[in-house]
Amino acid sequence: MTPRFTLHDGFEISRIVKGGWHLAGGHGAIDPVQAERDMAEFVEAGITTFDCADIYSGVEQKIGDFRRHYPDHARKLQVFTKFVPNLDDLPTVDRAYVERSIHRSLTRLGLEQLDAVQLHWWDFSVPGYVETALELQRLQRQGKLARVSVTNWDTDHLAELTAAGVRIATHQLQYSLLDNRPEHRMVEFCQENRIALLCYGTVAGGWLSERWLGQPEPLQPSANRSLVKYNLIIDDFGGWQRFQSLLEVLHSIANRHGTDIASIATRYILDRPLVAAAIVGATNASHLPAHRQLGNIMLDAEDYAQLNLILTERRGPLGDVYELERDRTGKHGRIMKYNLSQASR
């Protein structure tokens, strides 16, 4: 069964979280009936924590429909959603804007209280993010949400929230063998402030898999946005040849443990300090057997010694959490979509 993690307030989640981004389009056609059946399989396998967002097109509604159609499964479910104001709306985000977004999420999901709302703020040069977090905390006191969380914050601005008295339960961020930016400053800060980490990108959108082992670098890896996004991280890590060296080591470790590259990459992150869970992006349940075995994998000293030889050669990515992605003129920022929320409408 999937292992569990208890947050500081006593709330229990599964250490594997079913991500929702892949159900929003851009990763192939989604059959809504089959999507609900897949959700049921995840819950039955002990993966009872789902991640979604107000900007993931249709995903909150899909989870809400699943909850209505599978009431017994719904009682076991924990749902973490996100509040992501549009970049263009940031100067005018106010109490009414926040309330519209939270009301919309509650309605779509069919809930009276959201388990957690993860705040994202596109541009910290625009003021209002502290006030917005305090508005979420006000709604928490009213019972509309159980936890205030964040996603993709850097350390200095997260420190502003905690200094203002906002109690942050979790921080969802990108963390993988290819991207160790959380270790630069964020892990230490979160440890001091009892903030658990929810990690996405642990398999780099599918790059960390046997599919790419021994393959030449693709000229245009644009089958979906995940491949584009994480190919940039591979470049920052040190390029294709260094990436291939990492895959070779992971393949060797996976063979010793009778599993696959993606499982070893995910297990590595689950073993990092403060990591509560890894978020797996799944359009279907095809990888569920591998997800179910993650709790049985135990990396040993030999595994870490092999990995460290490669990881000490990394060139990047540099900077704090999500710092590269916030540069809208840079290669990471140019691929982002900044105005997907409907809270202003």
Domain count, the chain: 1
DSSP assignment of 206-227 equals GTSSGGGTTPPPPS---SSHHH
Query: What are the angstrom distances between the C-alpha of 177 and each of 93, 104, 136, 262, 270?
Result: 36, 36, 33, 11, 11
What are 328's two structure tokens?
A: 């809208």
Between CA 62 and CA 53 the distance in angstroms is: 12
pLDDT of amino acid 149: 98
Take residue 86 and report the two structure tokens written for it.
């549009």
Question: Can you give the pLDDT at residue 281?
Answer: 81
pLDDT of res. 285:
76
Which pLDDT score, from 0 to 100, does residue 324 have? 97
The pTM of this model reads 0.95
Predicted local confidence at residue 28, as pLDDT: 57
Residue 307 tokens read as 């990995």
Distances (CA, A) of 110 to 67, 71, 96, 228, 250: 8, 11, 21, 34, 42
Whether 226 is covered by a domain: the verdict is: yes
Is residue 342 a part of any domain in this protein? no
340 within a domain of the structure (yes/no): no
Q: Examine residue 30 and state whether it is found in any structural domain, yes or no.
A: yes
Residues forming beta bridges with residue 18, ordered by sequence position: 50, 280
Q: What is the CATH number of the domain that holds 222?
A: 3.20.20.100
Tell me which residue range forms the domain holding 269. Answer: 4-335
Q: Kindly state whether residue 341 falls inside one of the protein's structural domains.
A: no
Q: Walk along the chain (345 residues) and give the pLDDT tens digit of each residue.
A: 789 999 999 999 999 999 987 776 655 567 889 899 999 999 999 999 999 999 877 899 999 999 999 999 999 999 999 999 999 999 999 999 999 999 999 999 999 999 999 999 999 999 999 999 999 999 999 999 999 999 999 999 999 999 999 999 999 999 999 999 999 999 999 999 999 999 999 999 999 999 999 999 998 766 677 889 999 999 999 999 999 999 999 999 999 999 999 999 999 999 999 999 999 987 677 788 888 899 999 999 999 999 999 999 999 999 999 999 999 999 999 988 898 876 655
